[in-house]
Amino acid sequence: MHKLVVANYKMNGDKKFFVSVAKKINKTKAKDTKIVLCPPFVYLPFLKIKNKNVYLGAQDMSQVQNGKSTGKVSPTMLKEFGTEYVIVGHSEIRCNGETEQTIKQKIKLAIDNQLVPIVCVGEKDKSSGLEELSSQIQSILDAAAQGDNVVIAYVPVWSIGTGELPTVTKINKAVQVIKKQIKDKKLNASILYGGSVNEQNCTELLKSKIDGFLLGGVSLKVDKFLQIVKVVDNV
Contacts to ligand PEP by CB under 6 A:
8, 155, 160-161, 194-197, 214-217
Distance of closest approach, residue 50 Cβ to ligand PEP, in angstroms? 26
Instruction: Write down the least CB distance from residue 227 to ligand PEP, Å.
Output: 14
The nearest distance, CB 57 to ligand PEP, in angstroms, is 12
- Cβ 147 to ligand PEP shortest distance, Å: 27
Question: Which is nearer to ligand PEP, 64 or 93 (by Cβ)?
Answer: 93
Rounded least distance, CB 113 to ligand PEP, Å: 23
* 130 burial level (CB within 10 Å; 0-12, 13-18, 19+): middle
64 vs 198, which CB is nearer to ligand PEP? 198
Task: Tell the burial category of 45 from Cβ atoms under 10 Å away from its Cβ (0-12, 13-18, 19+).
Answer: middle
- Measured from the CB atom, the residue of 185 and 221 that comes closer to ligand PEP is 221
Q: 178-198: string of b/e by CB count within 10 Å (b at 16+)?
A: beebbeebebebbbbbbbbbb
Closest CA to 172 of 160, 189, 154, 185: 154
Backbone phi and psi for residue 100, each to the nearest 5 degrees, phi listed first: -60, -30
Q: Which residue is nearest to ligand PEP (CB)?
A: 216
The nearer residue to ligand PEP, 145 or 228, going by C-beta atoms, is: 228
State which residue, 186 or 198, has the beta carbon closest to ligand PEP: 198
